[in-house]
Chain A
Amino acid sequence: MISTWINASTDHGPAPAVTAGTGSVRYPVAQELPRFWAAFVLQDFLPTTRPPFRAPCGNESIVDSHMFAFIIKRTAQAMVVMLIISLIGFAIKQSVGDPIREITGISVSAQEREALKEKLGLNDPFPVQWLRFVGKALQGDLGNSFYFKRPALQVILSKAPATLELVFSTSVLVILLSIPIGIYAAVKPTTWLARFFMGASIVGVSIPVFLTAILLIYVFSVGLGWLPSYGRGETVEIFSGWQTGYLTVDGLKHLILPSIALSSIMLPLFIRLIRAEMKEVLETEYIKYARAKGLKSSRILFVHAFKNTLLPVITVGGVQLGTLIAFTILTETVFQWKGMGAMFIESVERADTSLMVAYLVFVGFIFVLVNTLVDLIYGLVNPMVRISGRK
Chain B
Amino acid sequence: MKRLVVILSIVILAGSGLARAATLRLAMDADPVSLDPHVQLSGGMLQYSHMVYDPLIRWTQDVQFEPRLAEKWERLDPLTVRFHLRKDVRFHSGNPFTAKDVAWTLARLKKSQDFKGLFEPFAEPVIVDDHTIDLKTKKPYGLTLNMCTYIFPMDSQFYSGKDDKGLDKDAIVKTEYSFANEHESGTGPYYVESREPGQKWVLKAFPEYWDKNRGNVDTIILTPISEDATRVAALLAGDVDFIMPVPPQDFDRIENSRGIQLITMPGTRVITFQLNQKRRPEFKDAKVRQAIVYAVNNTGIVDKIMKGRATVAAQNSPPGYVGYVADLSPRFDLEKARQLMKEAGHEQGFVVSMIAPNNRYVNDEKIAEAVASMLSKINIKVELKTMPKAQYWDEFDAQVADIQMIGWHSDTEDSANFFEFLYMCPNKETGYGQYNSGNYCNPKVDELTLASQSETDRAKRATMLQEVERILYADAAFVPLHWQMLSWAGSDKLRNADKIVNVMNFPYFGDLNMD
Residues of A within 8 A of B (CB): 95-98, 101-110, 112, 116, 120, 144-150, 214, 217-218, 221-222, 225, 228-231, 333-336, 338, 342-343, 346, 349-351
B223 at the interface (CB under 8 A from A): yes
Q: Mark B418-439, 1 if CB is under 8 A from A, else 0.
A: 0001000000100100110000
Task: Give the residue of B176, B230, B234, B394 whose beta carbon is less than 8 angstroms from that of A101.
Answer: B394
- Stretch in B112-120, B134-142, B281-289, B492-500 with 4+ CB within 8 Å of A: B112-120
B1 proximal to A (CB < 8 A):
no
Complex: how many Å from CA A346 to CA B225?
A: 11
Report yes or no: A109 in contact with B434, Cβ–Cβ below 8 A. Answer: yes
Chain A neighbourhood of B207, CB < 8 A: none
Beta-carbon contact of B421 and A107 below 8 Å? yes
Given contacts A149-B177, A228-B239, A334-B230, contact A105 B114 (CB under 8 A): yes
Would A222 and B41 count as touching, CB distance under 8 A? no
Closest to A214 in B: B229
Within the complex, the shortest CB–CB distance from B120 to chain A, in Å, comes to 10
Assembly CA distance A95 to B454 (angstroms) = 43
CB-CB nearest 9 A-B residue pairs: A97-B390, A105-B41, A221-B237, A351-B390, A105-B114, A229-B237, A222-B236, A97-B391, A146-B175
A interface footprint on B480-506 (CB within 8 Å = 1, 0 otherwise): 000000000000000000000000000
- Distance of A180 Cα from B34 Cα, bound (Å): 51
* Chain B contact residues: helix, strand, loop or mixed: loop
B209 CB–A CB distance under 8 Å: no
B198 & A101 in contact (Cβ 8 Å cutoff): no
What are 10 A-B residue pairs whose CB atoms fall within 8 Å in the complex?
Answer: A97-B389, A97-B391, A98-B390, A98-B391, A108-B117, A112-B113, A147-B198, A149-B34, A221-B233, A343-B198
Contact B390 A104 (CB under 8 A): no
Q: Which residues from 2 to 54 on chain B have a C-beta closer than 8 Å to any C-beta of chain A?
A: 33-34, 40-42
CB neighbours (8 Å) of B114 from chain A are: 104-105, 107-108
B199 at the interface (CB under 8 A from A): yes
> Do A336 and B226 form a contact, CB below 8 Å, given A149-B176, A228-B237?
yes
A102 contacts across to B, CB distance below 8 A: 390
**Can you name 4 extra interface pairs (CB under 8 A) apart from A101-B394, A108-B113?**
A98-B393, A105-B41, A107-B114, A110-B434
Chain B residues with Cβ under 8 A from A112's Cβ?
Answer: 113, 116
Selected from A103, A336, A351, the residue in CB contact (under 8 A) with B230 is: A336
Most chain B C-beta atoms within 10 Å of own C-beta, residue among A116, A222, A342: A222
Taking the closest CB of chain A, its distance from the CB of B393, in whole angstroms, is 5
Our pick among B173, B227, B388, B434 for the contact of A107 (Cβ within 8 Å) is B434
Residue of B nearest to A231 (CB): B223
- A346 in contact with B176 given A105-B114, A218-B233, A221-B239 (CB within 8 Å): no
Query: At the interface, yes or no: B238 with Cβ under 8 Å from chain A?
Result: yes
Q: Is the CB of A229 within 8 A of B197?
A: no
Judged by a CB distance under 8 angstroms, whether B411 is at the interface is yes
Query: B224 — nearest CB in chain A belongs to which residue?
Result: A336
Which chain A residues lie closer than 8 Å to B391 at the CB level?
95-98
A390 to B373, alpha carbons, bound, how many Å? 63
Enumerate chain A residues within 8 angstroms of B113, measured Cβ to Cβ.
Answer: 104, 108, 112, 116
Shortest distance in angstroms between A147's beta carbon and chain B's nearest beta carbon? 6
Q: Is B238's CB under 8 angstroms from A109's CB?
A: no
CA distance A309 to B67 in the complex (A): 76
Closest partner residue, chain A, to B392 (CB atom): A97
CB-CB under 8 A from A148, the residues of chain B are 197-198
Please determine whether B118 and A107 come into contact, CB atoms closer than 8 angstroms.
Answer: yes
Complex alpha-carbon distance, A342 and B238, angstroms: 23
Complex CA distance for A380 and B421, rounded to whole angstroms: 68
CA distance A333 to B34 in the complex (A): 22
The number of chain B residues touching the other chain, given as a range, is: 35 or more
Number of A-B contacts (CB under 8 A): 129
- How close is B430's CB to chain A, nearest CB, in angstroms? 10
* A144: chain B residues within 8 A (beta carbon): 175-176
B173 CB → nearest A CB, Å: 7
Any chain A CB within 8 A of the CB of B174? yes
- How far in angstroms is the closest Cβ of chain A from B112? 10
B276 CB–A CB distance under 8 Å:
no
A225: which B residues are within 8 A, CB to CB? 237-238
Counting CB contacts under 8 A, is B187 at the interface? no
Task: Tell me which residues across on chain A come within 8 A of B178, comparing CB atoms.
Answer: 149
- A-facing mask of B101-115, CB < 8 A → 1, else 0? 000000000000110
B340 to chain A, nearest CB (A): 33
Is B181 among interface residues, defined by CB-CB distance under 8 A?
Answer: yes
State in angstroms the CA–CA spacing of A130 and B15 once bound together: 65
* Alpha-carbon gap, A150 to B176, bound state (A): 6
The CA-CA distance from A140 to B178 in the complex, in Å, is 22
Nearest chain A residue, comparing its CB with the CB of B397: A110
The answer to whether B390 touches A109 (Cβ under 8 A) is no
Kindly name the residue among B173, B181, B233 whose own CB sees the greatest number of chain A CB atoms within 10 A.
Answer: B233
Contacting pair B176 A110 (CB below 8 A): no
> Complex Cα distance A194/B117, Å?
70
- Give, as a whole number of angstroms, the nearest-CB distance from B255 to chain A: 16
Q: How far is the CA of A19 from the CA of B344 in the complex (A)?
A: 77
Cβ-defined contact, B233 with A217, below 8 A = yes
Q: Is the CB of A349 within 8 A of B230?
A: no
Query: In the complex the two chains form, is A107's CB within 8 Å of B176's CB?
Result: no
Say whether B34 contacts A336, CB under 8 Å: no
Complex: A333 Cα to B227 Cα, angstroms: 7
CA of A109 to CA of B433 in the docked complex: distance in angstroms? Answer: 11
Contact of A98 with B394 at beta-carbon distance under 8 Å, contacts A116-B174, A149-B34 already known: yes
Q: Which residue on B lies nearest to A343, using beta carbons?
A: B198
A349 contacts B233, C-beta separation under 8 Å: no
With most chain A CB atoms within 10 A of its CB, the pick from B40, B199, B237 is B237
Chain A's nearest CB lies how many Å from the CB of B398? 11
A97 to B396, CA, bound (A): 13
Shortest beta-carbon distance from A209 to chain B in Å: 13
Is there contact, CB below 8 Å, between B388 and A97?
yes
Q: In whole Å, how far is B392's beta carbon from the nearest beta carbon of chain A?
A: 8
CA distance A138 to B22 in the complex (A): 50
Complex-state Cα separation, A218 to B178, whole angstroms: 42
- Known contacts A97-B388, A105-B41, A120 near B233 by CB under 8 Å: no
CB closest residue in chain A, given B388:
A97
With A108-B114, A349-B390 known to touch, is A103 a contact of B226 (CB < 8 Å)?
Answer: no
Give the Cβ gap from B284 to chain A, nearest Cβ, in Å.
Answer: 25
Contact A149 B173 (CB under 8 A): yes
In angstroms, Cα B199 to Cα A218, docked, is 22
Task: Tell me how far the C-beta of A56 lies from the nearest C-beta in chain B, rounded to whole angstroms.
Answer: 46
Q: In the bound complex, do residue B175 and residue A120 qualify as a contact, i.e. CB atoms below 8 Å apart? A: yes
B175 and A338 within 8 A (CB): no
| Whole-angstrom CA separation of A148 from B421 in the bound complex | 30
* Interface contact A349-B175, CB-CB below 8 Å: no
Give the chain B neighbours of A334 by CB distance below 8 A.
Answer: 227, 229-230
- CB of B233 within 8 A of CB of A103, answer no
Instruction: Looking at the assembled complex, report how far the CB atom of A125 sits from the nearest CB atom of chain B, in whole angstroms.
Output: 17
B250 CB → nearest A CB, Å = 12
Question: Given A107-B118, A334-B227: A149 and B390 within 8 A (CB)?
Answer: no
Q: Which of B162-208 contact A (CB under 8 A)?
A: 173-178, 181, 197-199
How distant is B95 from chain A, measured CB to nearest CB, in Å? 25
User: Closest CB of chain B to A120's CB: distance in Å?
Assistant: 7
| Most B-side CB within 10 Å, residue of A105, A109, A214, A342 | A105
Q: For residue B421, which residues in chain A have a CB less than 8 angstroms away from its CB? A: 107
Given contacts A214-B229, A217-B230, contact A109 B431 (CB under 8 A): yes
Task: Give Cα A334–Cα B175 distance, bound, in whole angstroms.
Answer: 27
Question: Which residues on B sit within 8 Å (CB–CB) of A351?
Answer: 390
How close is B31's CB to chain A, nearest CB, in angstroms?
A: 10
For the complex, give the distance between the alpha carbons of A302 and B85 in Å. 81
Give the Cβ gap from A359 to chain B, nearest Cβ, in Å: 14
- Chain B residues with Cβ below 8 Å from A147 are 33, 197-198
Q: Which of A95, A104, A229 contacts B234 (CB 8 A)?
A: A229
Q: A98-B394, A221-B239 are in contact. Are A346 and B198 (CB under 8 A)?
A: yes
Closest to B390 in A: A97
